Structure 1
Amino acid sequence: MRPVHLVYVSAGGGHRAAARAVQEELDARKIPNVMMDLLDFSSDLFKWSYSDVYAFVSEHAHIACKVMYELTDQDREESAVLRLLEKINMENVKKFMRYLTENQPDVCVGTHFFPLSVLSHMKEQGLYRGKIYGIVTDYGLHRMWISQFVDSYFVGGASVKEDLLQAGIPEHKIIMSGIPVMKRYGELYHRDRQRYKSNEFSILFVASSVPNSLVLDIFEGVIESGMSLSLSIVAGRNEDLIEQLERITIPSRVKFQLLGFVENLYDYMAEADVMITKPGGLTVSEAFCAGAPLLMINPIPKQEINNAKYIESHNAGIWARSASEAIHHLRDLYSSPEKLQIIRANARELAFPHAAKAVADAVLSALNI
C-alpha cells in the first residue's frame, strides 16, 4: 500500500502537532505514512513569508492579523483578492504538486487549509485521484478551510460543524472527532489527578508566544497579590524573557519554577490548578484532556478569539483581556475551589482524548483495512 500522507503547514505549531498525533496512531497500527510540511516544497522566501512572518505578526501585530483574517474569510467565487492569493500560493508549491502527481498516495490528510486547497485544485485538474481529509485545528471556522473536493472534515466542536453545514458541506462529510492530540495528553483524561496533585494552588503559565511585557505584568501581579502558590512559567526559547524573569526577586510564599523549552508539558498540565496560555486550538485540546482550567490571554484575531469565545460559552475557561483582569480572575479562583472544580469538569466534557484514533479509523476505512 502507498503511505498515508500527512500534510501540514508550519504557521504556528498546532498544525504540525495535530499531524504528529495522527502519525503516532498510524505508527502504532503499523500503517505506512509520511508527514511533510507543504512549505518545504516552496522557495525559502515564500516559506519565510508564510511561516516566520506569521509568527511575528501573530505575536506583535494583532490588527494586521485581524485584517488578513477578514480579508481571506470570504467565498472564493466572490473574492477577487482571495482568488489572486490562491493563484500565487499554487505557483509557489508546484514542486509539491509534481511530487504528488508522481506518487499518487491513496489518502492525504491536511491539518491546515493550504494543503486542502492545493489537493482540491489538483483533484479538479485530474492530477490527484486519492482521498482528501481535513482536520480543522480551531474551534471556529475560517472559510479558507472550505474546498470542494475534501471527502471528510474532522472537527473539534459543534460550532465548527454548524459553520460547515451552513457553508454547504453535507453532514455525512463532517466527523465530530475532536482535534488530535498526542497519546500522552490523551492519557491525562483517564489519570487520577488527586494522586499527583499537591495541596498548593498551582499555576502553569505557558508564556513562550506571549509578549514579554504582558508576561512580566502578570508575573509581577502574582507576586504582589499576596497569594501563596506554586508558579511554573514555560518561556520556551525566549532567552530575553528568561533573562528578565531571572532578575526579579521572588517572595518565599511563591514557589517559582522557570522553564525553557519542555517536552513533557503534559506532566505540568496534570498538576496545574490553572493554566495561563494563548488559546491555540491544539493547546486548548490538550488542556481539555488534562482537565486544566484555562485562563486565556492575548488571543490572535480571530481564530484564537473564536477559540476563547467557544471555551467561555461552555464555562470551561476564562478570557482575561488584560494583566489586571488576569490577576483578578486568579484571585477569584484561588479563593473559590468550587468554581475551579466546575470549570475543570466542563473542560473535561469538551475533551476528545481519542481524536487521533477517529482519524486513523477513517483512513483505514478508506484503505479497506
Structure 2
Amino acid sequence: MARKILIVSASMGAGHDGAAKELSARLIAQGNSAEIVDYMEMIPFRLGGVVRWSYKFQLRHFAWTYDLTYQAFSRGGAFLWAPVVWAMGLLTRRPIRRVLLQTRPDAIVSTYPLASLVLGRMRAKHWLKVPVATFLTDFAVHSLWVHPGVDLHLAVSPESAARANQRGSHTSVATGPLVPERFNFSYVTRDDTRRRLGIEPHTRAVLVVAGSWGVGDLKSTTQAIAGCGPEYHPIVVCGQDENLRANLLAESFSGTILGWTEEMPSLMAASDALVENAGGLSAMEAFAAGLPVISYQSIAGHGKDNARVMAQAGVTRRVNNKAELADALADTTTPGSKRDEMIAAGHALFVSDPAESVEELASATDSAALMAPFDSPRGMRRLGSAAAVLVILYAVLTIGVHGVAALGVGVAKAPKGVTNTVYLGVRVDQRELNNRALDNAIHKINASVIVDAKVARNSHEILHQLTDSNFDIVNGGMGVSRTLRWTRSRDDCDTASLALAKASGLSPKVFMPGRSIDAFDEFYCRTGKIKSKLVRANTKFLPPTVPTLIDRKIYLLDARKKSATAVKASLEKFYQQAQTKGLQIQPLGQLR
C-alpha cells in the first residue's frame, strides 16, 4: 500500500536538504508519495531567512560564539532547549497544521534538529496524531537532535544510534547515511575527469570541501596540502561562496579551484582522498564512494564534534596540525591496509535503507489520524504566550545584533591595500538636489549623492541627468520612519532601492542610512531584489564644519535644508584638507 510521507527539512546548508531529497527519491521509487517542506519558510515574518543568515554570519565571523552555544546546549540539554522549542512551536504551529491538513501524511520525517524537537513536543503533547521520525544527519548526536516524543530516530552509525538512546530516544536504528546511488561509482570516469582537470596519472589528487557555504579556512588548508609535497594536487570546492573562489584563484595555487558544482561523484572518482572540516554530507558521500576521509581544521561546534566521533568509529582520520596532515595524506593516498581499512569502515555504515524504516513506521498509522492529523491547542493564555515570544524574538534580533553591527562586521569598508583615500557621501533633499551648481560641486570633488525614495519619486528628470553625467547615486532609504525594525529595513534597503532605480534608470549599489544599523539591514541588503553594499559612516557632519580627515575613513555630510553657500563651503574645506594631507576623495561606490 502506497504511503504519504511529509519530510521537514531546512535550508541551512546542503546536509539537511540533501538527506531530505534522497529520502524523498527513494520513497517515490518504492511507490509512495513524498513532499518536502522547508521549516525556515514556516517561521513567520520572513524570520527564517534572518535565522539562516545569522547562523551563516556567526559561523564566518564569530565561530567561537557558535562553539560556546553548541557546547552549552549539549551540556544543558532540555533545561536550555525547552524554552526555545516552546517558542518555536508557538511560532510555527499554524504553518505545520496547515501543511498537515493539506498533505494528510501517514508519517513525518524531519532532517533538521529544531524541527525534530518541535514535532517531538507536539507528539508528546498528543497534538500531533501521526508518527514522527528523525533522520540524524550528523555522527555526533547533539541534545538538540533528540526528543523523547519522536517515535523513531534513524542514525548514520551504530555509535550515533547508541548516543541517541542515551539522549532520550526510545527507538534508534542505525541505517547508515542517505547518499544517492550515483556516488557508488566505478573507476570508468576517473581517468576522464583527471584528464579534463589536467591531473597527471601519478599525481595524488586531494578533494577539499567546506560544505555548500564554503565555511572555514580553505586557504590555509589548501596551502597546507600543497606544502606536503609536489605530488599532491588539491581540488578545492568553494560551494556557493564566489568571493572565496575568487580569492583562492588570485593566490595562483597549483591546483584546481571550483565554485558550486553538480559533479561531486566525478570529482570523488578522480580523487585519492577527501579533506573536510564539518563531517557533513560530503563526508557521507565519500564513504559511499570509497574515498578515504581526513578531518582537518574542523569548524566550530558540530564540525569538531563530528570529527571526533567519526575518527573514533574508524571511518575518518582526524589530524590537528600540518605534520599529522602530511602523514594522513601519505597513508590515505597510498594503496595498502590503512587505506583499505578506512574505506571498508565507511562502506560498512550502509546497512539498510532508511526509506524502508519510514514505510514501516507509516504502516502503523490509523485512519483516524489521517482524518485529523493535528489537534490545535486553544486558549487566550497560549495567544498571550505567542505574543510574548514575538516580543522576545524581536528584541534579540534588534537590540542583540546591534552590538555586532557596531563592530562593523558585514558592512562595506575601504578595499584592502588602498591607502591615502577617504570616502564622502552628501545627503540631499529635494531643494539641494535640484540645485545644479551644488550637484556639480559635489561631483567635482568625487563625492556621492545620497537620495532617499521620497525625494527620488519627485525627481526623475534631475536624477536621469545625474546618471547620464556619471554621478555616484546612493540609496538613502525611504525617507520616512517605521516602527518595526524588519519593516524599516525592508523598506529602506529593498523598496527604496527599487524606487531609486526607477527614478534614475540605474540600480543603486550602495545603501547608506542616516541612522544606526542592525542585522535586519544586513539581511535585506544581501537578499533584496537589488543587492546593495551596506555603508556606515565613521563620521557625520553638518555644513559649514569639516572634521579632521583620517585615511580610509568614511564621511557623511548632511546637506538637507542647509544653504547652498554653507554646503559648498564644507565641500571646499573638505577638498582642501584632503589635498593638504595627500588624501584622494572617492565616492561610496568604491567601498567593498
Q: TM-score, normalised by structure 1?
A: 0.84
1:228 has 2:231 as partner: yes
- Give the Cα separation in 1 of the matches to 2:43 and 2:57: 20
RMSD, aligned CA:
2.9
Which piece of structure 1 moves more, 311-320 or 270-279?
A: 311-320
- Name 1:134's counterpart in structure 2: 134
Paired letter, 1:4: I
Q: CA deviation at 1:17?
A: 0.8
Q: 1:177 aligns with which of 153, 163, 175?
A: 175
- Give the Cα separation in 1 of the matches to 2:330 and 2:354: 36
Aligned residues of 2:206 and 2:273 also touching (Cα < 8 A) = yes
Matches within 5 A, 1:58-137: 58-73=59-74, 74-76=76-78, 79=79, 81-100=80-99, 102-103=101-102, 104-137=104-137
Matches within 5 A, 1:166-245: 166-170=166-170, 173-185=171-183, 188=184, 191-193=185-187, 196=190, 198-207=201-210, 209-210=213-214, 214-245=217-248
* CA deviations over 1:198-218 (Å, ceiling 9, x no partner): 443111112454557x32233
Q: CA deviation at 1:259?
A: 1.5
Q: CA deviation at 1:290?
A: 0.9
Q: CA deviation at 1:168?
A: 4.3
Which piece of structure 1 moves more, 19-28 or 85-94?
A: 85-94
1:355/1:65 CA distance change after superposition, 3 Å: farther
* CA deviations over 1:120-172 (Å, ceiling 9, x no partner): 333344432111111111112112222232111111112222223323434xx
Paired letter, 1:154: L
Gaps of 5+ in 2: 192-200, 367-592
1:355/1:302 CA distance change after superposition, 3 Å: farther
1:290/1:59 CA distance change after superposition, 3 Å: farther
Q: Percent identity?
A: 19
SS where residue 70 of structure 2 aligns? helix
* CA deviations over 1:97-138 (Å, ceiling 9, x no partner): 331453442210011222222223333444321111111111
- Give the Cα separation in 2 of the matches to 1:184 and 1:356: 17
- Name 1:328's counterpart in structure 2: 326
Q: TM-score, normalised by structure 2?
A: 0.54
Aligned residues of 1:110 and 1:116 also touching (Cα < 8 A) = yes
- Give the Cα separation in 1 of the matches to 2:174 and 2:237: 31
- Name 2:55's counterpart in structure 1: 54
1:291 has 2:290 as partner: yes
Which piece of structure 1 moves more, 305-314 or 15-24?
A: 305-314
- Name 2:198's counterpart in structure 1: none
SS where residue 336 of structure 2 aligns? helix
- Give the Cα separation in 1 of the matches to 2:72 and 2:288: 34
* CA deviations over 1:260-283 (Å, ceiling 9, x no partner): 111121111122111111233322
Aligned residues of 1:21 and 1:183 also touching (Cα < 8 A) = no
SS where residue 105 of structure 1 aligns? coil
- Give the Cα separation in 2 of the matches to 1:84 and 1:134: 20
Larger radius of gyration: 2
Gaps of 5+ in 1: none
Aligned residues of 2:273 and 2:329 also touching (Cα < 8 A) = no
Which piece of structure 1 moves more, 22-31 or 296-305?
A: 296-305
- Name 2:20's counterpart in structure 1: 19
Aligned residues of 1:12 and 1:55 also touching (Cα < 8 A) = no
- Name 2:336's counterpart in structure 1: 338
Q: CA deviation at 1:8?
A: 1.1
- Give the Cα separation in 1 of the matches to 2:269 and 2:89: 42
1:133/1:343 CA distance change after superposition, 3 Å: same
1:141/1:234 CA distance change after superposition, 3 Å: same
Structure with bigger RCO (C-alpha 8 Å, 6+ apart): 1
- Give the Cα separation in 1 of the matches to 2:82 and 2:137: 23
1:25/1:273 CA distance change after superposition, 3 Å: same
Which piece of structure 1 moves more, 41-50 or 150-159?
A: 41-50
Matches within 5 A, 1:259-338: 259-322=258-321, 324-325=322-323, 327-329=325-327, 332-333=330-331, 336-338=334-336
1:366/1:284 CA distance change after superposition, 3 Å: farther
* CA deviations over 1:176-213 (Å, ceiling 9, x no partner): 1112122222xx1xx4448735443111112454557x
Paired letter, 1:148: P
Deviation >6 Å, runs of 4+: none
- Give the Cα separation in 2 of the matches to 1:34 and 1:365: 17
- Give the Cα separation in 1 of the matches to 2:27 and 2:218: 38
